[in-house]
Amino acid sequence: MSTIRLGDEAPNFTAETSEGTINFHEWLGDNWGILFSHPADYTPVCTTELGTVAKYKSEFEKRKVKVVALSVDGLTSHQGWIQDINETQNTSVNFPIIADEDKKVSNLYDMIHPNADNNLTVRSVFIIDPNKKVKLIIVYPASTGRNFDELLRVIDSLQLTTYHKVATPANWKNGDDCVIVPAVENEEIAELFPKGYKEIKPYLRMTPQPNLE
């Protein structure tokens, strides 16, 4: 079992999924990726989560994000469960679900927390950039479903801050002003941020979001 930290390379693996065999790094290609785990098939919260992800596919595609889910149950179980998800959530599952019966991927990504449950995965989320680096890790207990609007918000922030010298403040959402990172000198601002900026404190400088027209 390994401990994965932010900035680490996301471990590669080959696995059987509901959409065939994938090599994780090859499957990601030059996209961003979300790998998220579920405690088990045919569980109520997971059913609502996977239905929500299917409905959000166009939002992920806009951001060039590929999504893959994981459960420790097998392919036959996955296929039956997908039918239930499609029926109860009024959608069509449109992304692969990894069948991790041997818990190889679960252990590789430290998704099993024995003090919570010795056999089932917790609700782990890994966001991975096109260089296969882990950019975000969130872990939820089995009892709490994830907020996928928040994951979209985080992806918007990660993609913005990866390519521009800004950070996003508390409760930021796409379109809001951003913080200029402290490493940027005032003399550089005019060139880097032609929309201007407001200095609240020498260390707190706000600018309009730079990647919007």
- For residue 149, what is the enclosing H or E element? helix 148-163
- Which position has the token pair 């390379």? 9
- Of the candidates 22, 15, 3, 20, which has an alpha carbon nearest to the alpha carbon of residue 126? 3
Tokens of 139: 């872990």
Catalytic hit among 15, 34, 35, 46: 46
- Which position has the token pair 């088990």? 40
- The CA R_g of the chain, rounded to the nearest whole Å, is 19
Q: How far apart are the first and last CA of the chain?
A: 45
How far from the centroid of its chain's Cα atoms is residue 122's Cα? 15
- Of the candidates 33, 45, 18, which has an alpha carbon nearest to the alpha carbon of residue 131? 33
Concerning whether 178 is annotated as a catalytic residue, the answer is no
Cα–Cα distance between 53 and 91 in angstroms, integer?
Answer: 10
- For residue 98, what is the enclosing H or E element? strand 97-99
- Which position has the token pair 């069948």? 99
Cα–Cα distance between 101 and 123 in angstroms, integer?
Answer: 17
Query: Which residues are catalytically annotated?
Result: 46
